[in-house]
Structure 1
Amino acid sequence: MNSDYEKKALIDTNNLEWQIDTQNVFKKVLSTKDEEETSLIKLQKNSSLNQETKINSVEVFVLEGTYINQYGKFLKGTYLKLSKENESLVKTDDNCVFFRKTNHFSDEQKIIIDTETSEWLEGQGNLKVMPLDVQTALVKWPKDEKFIPHKHWGGEEILVLEGIFMDEYGNYPKGSWIRSPHLSEHFPFVKEETIIFVKTGHL
C-alpha cells in the first residue's frame, strides 16, 4: 500500500475504518514497503500492542491518551524516535492513539520530546517551528499565513494535527496524511491556525 515513494500519496484518515489487528489493537495502515510501515494505531484501555516480542526501530507521535513502553510512560504530544522498541512492552492504561513509522531508519537513536512543554522557535515568515529531529518538526501556521512556493528535495511527509492545511491542489483537514515525492512542488497556505507534523528529505 502506497509503496511507491515516487508517487504522491494522500489519505484523509478520518474516512478510514479502523481495522482489527489483534485483540484490543486497531490500525489504519497508510503505507507499507518491505519491513517499513506507516500507520495510525489505537490501543484500548489496559491492552498491549503485541503478545510476542518483536523489535522494531520506530518513530511515534502520541495523538491521544498514554503510551507506555520499556522507556517510560508518555502522554499526548510526545514524540519518540527509538532504534529498538519491544512491541510486547508497548501498552496503555487508557485509550491511546498514535502515529507510528517502523523500520524507516537504521541509526542508533533515542529521542523523546514532550511537545506540550517544548518551546516554539521562530520560522520563516510568521511560522513557528519545534524541531524534533534533523528531518522532523512540528510547524505552527498562524491564521492566513502563506509560505513560499518550494520543491521537496528528498520528499515531504505531513500529518495535519490541528486546523486545515491547504495548497493549490486542495484542502487537508486535521487527520490528513500527505506524502510528496522527491522534487515535487507546491504553494502551501492556511486560513486558520494550523499545526502539522512534517518530515522532509527522508524519501
Structure 2
Amino acid sequence: MLINADFTLPAALAPHKYQWTPSPQKGVERVMLDRVGAEKARATSLVRYAPNSYFPRHEHPGGEEILVLSGTFSADDQHYPAGWYLRNPPTSKHMPFSEDGAVIFVKLWQMPSDETRQVFINTNDDDNWHKKDGREICPLFAADYEHVSLQRLRADEALFAETIKGGAELLVLEGELINEDQTYQRGGWIRLPVGGQTQIRAGKKGVIIYLKLGHLLNVIGINNQ
C-alpha cells in the first residue's frame, strides 16, 4: 500500500478530509497520512481507540513514536493523558489500550535500528518549555537524523525563515496555521520535502504545532507513487 509515498513531494490533509478506516483490531480506527507497505509498514497515522479497546501485546521492530492528542492512552500498566509524547525504540514491546477512549498521532518503522532511547515527556508541564529566539519550544527528541519538538507561534509569525534543508512534518495541535491559501486547524497535517520553500505562518490567534525536522533526508527515493 502506498499513501503519500513520494517523499520528494509535499503532502497535506485537513481535518474535514479525514477518512477513518477500521484497523485489524476491533474498536481501533485510523487515518492513514503516509504509508509504505501493507499491515506492517512505514506509516504515519492518526489512531482512534474506542473505550475499552486494545491491541494484543506486540513488538515494534522499527520503533514507534506517539503523541497523545485526546483522551488517555495506556500501555501495559502506564497511563498517558493528552499531551504526553512517547518514543519506543526498535524491538520494544507493549500492550496498548484505552479505557476511556483516545486519539493518538503515531509514526511506525521510522527509527534507525541502533536507536535505544526511550522517551516519556509531559508537554503540559511548563518546565519542559523554554524560549529560543523569541519562540516557545518544548523539545521532544534530538539526534543527528532528526529533531522533534512542540512549538508555540505568535499571531502571524512565520514558521520557517529559510529553505527546509532536511524536510519537515507538522501537526496542528491548537489554533490555526496558514499555508499559502489553505488554513489548517487543529488536526491539520503537512509534510514538506527536502529543500522545500513555504510561506507557512500562524493564524491571527497563534498556533501550537508538533514539528519534526531533518528526517526526510533518509527516505528520499524510498518509494515514488
**Could you state the TM-score of these two structures normalised by the residue count of structure 2?**
0.83
Q: Aligned partners of 2:109, 2:125: CA distance in 1, in Å?
A: 28
Relative to structure 1, is the Cα distance of residues 78 and 186 closer, same or farther in structure 2, using a 3 angstrom cutoff? same
User: Offset at 1:157?
Assistant: 0.1
Matched, 1:161 2:173: yes
**1:11 — aligned with what?**
13
Does the 8 A contact of 2:167 with 2:196 survive in 1?
yes
2:205 corresponds in structure 1 to 192
Q: Secondary structure at the match of 1:185?
A: coil
Q: Which residue of 1 aligns with 2:150?
A: 138
Query: 1:77 pairs with 73, 79, 83, which one?
Result: 83
Please point out which of 51, 55, 80 is paired with 2:56.
51
Instruction: Report what 1:129 is aligned to.
Output: 137
The residue aligned with 2:42 is 36
Aligned residues: 200
Give the aligned partner of residue 98 of structure 1: 104
Which residue does the alignment assign to 2:93? Answer: 86
3-state SS, counterpart of residue 58 of structure 2: coil
Gaps of 5+ in 2: 217-225
Distance 1:70 1:118, change over 3 A: farther
* Residues 118 and 85 of structure 1: CA distance in aligned 2, closer, same or farther (over 3 Å): farther
* Contact 1:63–1:76, Cα closer than 8 Å, also in 2: yes
Q: Tell which deviates more after alignment, 104-113 or 162-171.
A: 162-171
Which of 167, 170, 193 lines up with 2:182 in the alignment? 170
SS of the counterpart of 1:193? strand
Aligned-partner Cα distance in 2 for 1:66–1:172: 25
Aligned CA-pair RMSD: 1.8
Matches of residues 18-29 of structure 1 in structure 2 within 5 Å? Answer: 18-21=20-23, 22-29=25-32
Q: TM-score, normalised by structure 1?
A: 0.91
| Number of the residue aligned with 1:117 | 125
CA distance in structure 2 between the aligned counterparts of 1:71 and 1:187, rounded to whole angstroms: 44
Contact 2:72 2:82 survives alignment (8 Å)? yes
Q: Tell me the residue number matched to 1:108.
A: 116
- Give the superposition deviation at 1:52: 5.8
Give 1:26's aligned amino acid.
E
Is the 2:22–2:28 Cα contact (8 Å) retained in structure 1? Answer: yes
Deviation at 1:51, TM superposition (A): 3.3
Stretches of structure 1 that go unaligned for 5 or more consecutive residues are: none
Equivalent position of 2:214 in the other structure: 201
SS in 1 for 2:208: strand
What displacement does 1:103 show?
1.0
For the residues of structure 2 that align with 1:144 and 1:14, how far apart are their CA atoms?
A: 23
- Distance in 1 (alpha carbons) for counterparts of 2:60 and 2:7: 24
Q: How far does the alpha carbon of each residue in 1:111-150 deviate from its partner, in whole angstroms, 9 at most, with x for none?
A: 11000114321123x4211110110000001223235541
CA–CA distance in structure 1, aligned partners of residues 176 and 136 of structure 2: 16
Check conservation: 1:138, 1:198, Cα contact below 8 A. Answer: yes
